Structure 1
Amino acid sequence: MTDTIEINVHPDLSGIAQTDWDACACPEGADGRPIDPFTTYRFLRALETSGSVGPGTGWQPRYLTAHQDGQMIAVAPLYAKGHSQGEYIFDHNWAHAYENAGGRYYPKLQMAVPFTPATGRRFLTRAGFEMAGMSAIMQGAVQIAADNDLSSLHVTFCTEAEAIAGAEMGLLSRIGQQFHWVNDAYEDFGGFLAQLASRKRKNIRRERAQAQNFGGEIVSLTGDAIQPEHWDAFWRFYQDTGNRKWGTPYLTRAFFDAAQECLRDDMLLVLAMRDGHAVAGALNMIGRDTLYGRYWGCTEHHPCLHFELCYYQAIDFAIANGMSRVEAGAQGEHKLARGYLPVATHSLHWFRDQGFKDAVARYLEAEREAVDEEIEILTTYGPFRNEPREEQQ
């Protein structure tokens, strides 16, 4: 880190001007929709003010800012973590090994968007300061971990370019795998289906017909079309899913009030309505070129309604709005048959203990080979009738 760059740590966003943060997180937002809706000031602030992160959650904000000559040139969403929940790139086995060897794994530092397995920049730099800003933030985060005797620093769901740069700086890189749908300049959903093998095409048509036969209508809402009562319904769905998957939902009810106030233009809410009441729903975040599937839930179970609301409606929206892809979130090989192909995700890891770092490095080398092989094999099982397409970058 050069003497001319100053790193500061902030316990909340109130001490950072929104214009300064967003100038680094989403400079393109000045001309319209941001590329990454999750690193905007308004999204991270909604997590904070709603109590979804902060005291008692295991996610303590430690936002980083970098200044040079009085100007903010880089920021990063950094958190002190007391557990490994809500990350989706799992290190539970590392924590167990570390503590079985007599070490203290938690707290650790996590550079991430909480509860969000979506790829995006983690080293958020003002235009023209990409290398200097990333280097300063990286060195600052590592120094904070070292000065406080923390076990580790983890940068999750970063971009591939950041993973390469971080590895060159001495961090360990890790790859994972998700399923994304890629828009091959389709004019409509039928154009997408035309590229599938006959059996897969017929299956999707059958699933869509079954879903539409649930006894009501499916509506897609964004912006001012989303009303407070829609969040009341979705909160019920979210609680049901959260209780079944995680034990305790990550987001608080107040987060959805914040969404109504300042995030509804960034959100697509797909609801199955019957007799004026929502019986199922899927929540997506809208980026400039990507639709991000996030949450699903229901109070009634109907055949194929999950596939329709989460996957097919998302494809419809992406095609209609000229978007390049849909990221459908973590896990789920069932997405493959519905046109979502496997792609690599990336993370970076630093460990204070050199011996433990060496052990993890060996593990990651073997894991990387396994993940590469899995992606290659799964791609061959894709639904497309032609040769499997390479992921568009």
Structure 2
Amino acid sequence: MYRLTTHSAIAEIPAEHWNRLADPDTPFLHHAFLDAMERHGCVGESLGWLPHHLALRDGDDRILAVAPAYLKFNSYGEFVFDWSWADAYRRHGRAYYPKLIVASPYTPATGPRILTGATPQRRDIARVLIQGAVQVAEKLGVSSLHWLFTADDETDWLAEQGSMRRLGCQFHWRNPGYGSFDDFLGAFTAAKRKQIKRERRRVAENGIRIRRVRGDAVTESEWAIFHRLYRDTFDKRGGLPTLTLPFFQDIGERMGRNLLLVLAYHDRNIVAAAFNLIGERSLYGRHWGCFQDFHSLHFDACYYQGLEYCIEQGLTRFEPGAQGEHKVSRGFLPTATWSAHWIANADFRQAIARFLDTETRDMQDYLAEMNTHSPYRADALPDRIQAVS
């Protein structure tokens, strides 16, 4: 009844079919987003990301599900860190790379990785695709197959079919229906509320003006300045700025309503910027850069502006990016994230399973500890973020 095909370019799958199956809350899995990466040199052999997308078809050749998959020759840009696994393979004379991953490149944001659309057969279709993906991995002879930042239901189905869960932590914000930013701050303890007001006041006292711009209104010169800021951040940290200026310009043109650029001005010049993706219900903070350091500007541009935007637009969730314990005091609470891992070699599978047992217990302790630092008053903590699953 089913046939799984693999594709070395997302352009081989018509955009209307891909987007029909994609979750509208995950713009980082929009066909245009992934296609722009391929068109403009953000992925490819030189960067260790070879597209190997999956499409599940029925007997009439109708596409029922897709998954963004890549052959990986390194672990860069994944944010689920397996460098120690690769090193263990090397020390035992085995090759860890290439591996096969299902993910959005350079995007540590949660959501469905098996795109089925809103069908009541989602579980059955997903299970068939998972089985097919393992067969693809076996045929390719890769060491492993990794599903990164999966939705909860997918994580369960992957575990049922032999993949190992891996627990992670990010810091997310949930909106219980705040009417304004001041309403949001009203849920904080007095000390934490005072801290945020002081940080925003310092930004204003430094003569900073902040402007939020949707991607379809960003000018060519503004994209160029933002890209300089983006590259500058990686240069300062010794990283690799894989996203090109034509990539940003392309997605600005093709999916501008899903982009939000926060621009900070000083003396009429742009001195900092933060780049966000807008989903149907969620905001995703991604990249930040600054030419000059101003006290608390990072917090305002990357967090408070996004929070205000979510409240104004009625968005229910804000994921401001990976890691960052400093986010807790600003309203972002520890949230479990998941990945799932299929390991071909039985001996390494057992060793990694033991590692994950220990790591999971440690991560659960960490989540619980981080939760004790909540800035919210006990009587004002929204029900949906009281507990970490």
TM-score normalized with structure 1 length: 0.95
Match of residue 260, structure 1, among 252, 257, 260: 252
Q: For 2:81, what is the secondary structure of its paired residue? A: coil
Alignment of 1:59 with 2:49, yes or no, is: yes
Contact 2:216 2:255 in 1 (8 A): no
Q: Structure 1 residues 389 and 364 mapped into 2: Cα distance closer, same or farther (>3 Å)?
A: farther
Amino acid aligned to 1:45 = D
Match of residue 75, structure 1, among 61, 66, 69: 66
Instruction: Write the distance in 1 (CA, Å) between the matches of 2:91 and 2:214.
Output: 49
- Aligned residue runs from structure 1 range 362-373, under 5 A: 362-373=354-365
Contact 1:7 1:136 in 2 (8 A): no
Alignment of 1:7 with 2:12, yes or no, is: no
Contact 2:215 2:261 in 1 (8 A): no
Instruction: Write the distance in 2 (CA, Å) between the matches of 1:319 and 1:343.
Output: 20
Q: For 1:180, what is the secondary structure of its paired residue? A: strand
Contact 2:163 2:341 in 1 (8 A): yes
Amino acid aligned to 2:333 = L
Instruction: Write the distance in 2 (CA, Å) between the matches of 1:159 and 1:124.
Output: 11
CA deviations over 1:253-273 (Å, ceiling 9, x no partner): 221121232132110100001
Displacement of 1:204 in angstroms is 0.5
CA deviations over 1:307-360 (Å, ceiling 9, x no partner): 000000010000000111110110100101111100000000001101111111
Q: For 1:292, what is the secondary structure of its paired residue? A: strand
- Aligned residue runs from structure 1 range 55-134, under 5 A: 55-68=45-58, 69-128=60-119, 129-134=121-126
Match of residue 243, structure 2, among 238, 246, 251: 251
Q: Specify every segment of 5 or more residues in structure 1 that has no aligned partner in the other structure, as ranges.
A: 27-33
- Aligned residue runs from structure 1 range 218-297, under 5 A: 218-297=210-289
**Residue of structure 1 in register with 2:179 after alignment:** 187
Q: Structure 1 residues 355 and 390 mapped into 2: Cα distance closer, same or farther (>3 Å)?
A: farther
CA deviations over 1:280-327 (Å, ceiling 9, x no partner): 000000011110000000101100000000000010000000111110
Displacement of 1:277 in angstroms is 2.1
Displacement of 1:242 in angstroms is 1.6
**Residue of structure 2 in register with 1:41 after alignment:** 31
Amino acid aligned to 1:36 = T
Instruction: Write the distance in 1 (CA, Å) between the matches of 2:365 and 2:239.
Output: 33
Displacement of 1:231 in angstroms is 0.6
Contact 1:228 1:260 in 2 (8 A): no
CA deviations over 1:202-249 (Å, ceiling 9, x no partner): 010000001122323100000432111111111111001122335221
CA deviations over 1:347-387 (Å, ceiling 9, x no partner): 00001101111111111111111111111111111111216
Instruction: Write the distance in 2 (CA, Å) between the matches of 1:188 and 1:38.
Output: 27
Q: For 1:383, what is the secondary structure of its paired residue? A: coil
Alignment of 1:147 with 2:139, yes or no, is: yes
Instruction: Write the distance in 1 (CA, Å) between the matches of 2:233 and 2:224.
Output: 15
Q: For 1:158, what is the secondary structure of its paired residue? A: coil
- Aligned residue runs from structure 1 range 300-379, under 5 A: 300-379=292-371
Displacement of 1:390 in angstroms is 5.1
CA deviations over 1:115-157 (Å, ceiling 9, x no partner): 0000010011133241232122211221121112210010000
Instruction: Write the distance in 1 (CA, Å) between the matches of 2:71 and 2:238.
Output: 20
Q: Structure 1 residues 356 and 192 mapped into 2: Cα distance closer, same or farther (>3 Å)?
A: same
Q: Specify every segment of 5 or more residues in structure 2 that has no aligned partner in the other structure, as ranges.
A: none
TM-score normalized with structure 2 length: 0.96
